[in-house]
Amino acid sequence: MLSQNVENILVAQIEKEAYSSSLYLSMASWAEVNGFEGTAQWFYAQAEEEHQHMLKFLAFVNERGGKAIIPALNQPPVDYKDIRDIFTQVFEHEKYISQSINNIVGVCMEEKDFSTNNWIQWFVNEQIEEEKSVRGIIDKLNLIGAHSLYLFDKDIMSMRATAAK
């Protein structure tokens, strides 16, 4: 049986996972209409994963004698500046979710709820993976940025050489 504090924080997490799914769907849709097919696919898959996370919380709360609540969601942003802006926002969001999962661990410890603490460890590890994956994408984007600058630099050098002839 869950204590009220543990139940409350797990129910709050249902909302956060549902919002994550909705946020990533919005990003998928933005990427799709802006011609970034690969990025759109990445976000559609990510949205589905977040939906599964939400279901895991929902099932766990109900199995452990609590009552899952299906939340009303805020509308996620519709427009984004560019791909880098999107992934920067994803990284910030995932860090926020990691903090939120850590807070659940904290409440489990306070309440001496070792079974929920054991169960939530899957999410602790999942967050490490998610942050790592998004950080990897941002690193790639930064490399592309540097590469473009490198090409620009070569380009302007050859323009100078041509002009000198």
Nearer residue to ligand FEO within complex by CB, 53 or 66: 53
Determine the Cα–Cα distance for residues 61 and 53; give it in Å rounded to an integer: 13
Q: Count the alpha carbons within 13 Å of 151 in the hemisphere toward its beta carbon.
A: 6
Report helix, strand or coil for 4: helix
- Sketch the per residue contact string, 52 through 71, with ligand FEO: x for CB under 6 A, - otherwise: -x------------------
Contact between 10 and ligand FEO by CB under 6 A: the answer reads no
Contact between 97 and ligand FEO by CB under 6 A: the answer reads yes
Structure-block tokens of residue 87: 């992934």
Nearer residue to ligand FEO within complex by CB, 3 or 131: 131
Contact between 130 and ligand FEO by CB under 6 A: the answer reads yes
Measured over the CA atoms of residue 24, residue 89, residue 145 and residue 128, the dihedral's sign is: negative
Contact between 7 and ligand FEO by CB under 6 A: the answer reads no
Determine the Cα–Cα distance for residues 61 and 8; give it in Å rounded to an integer: 10
Exactly one of 31, 40, 50, 119 binds ligand FEO (CB under 6 A); that residue is: 50
Contact between 119 and ligand FEO by CB under 6 A: the answer reads no
**Start-end of H helices in the chain:** 4-33, 37-63, 83-110, 114-164
Contact between 113 and ligand FEO by CB under 6 A: the answer reads no
Q: Note the residues at the interface with ligand FEO (CB under 6 A).
A: 17, 20, 50, 53, 94, 97, 130
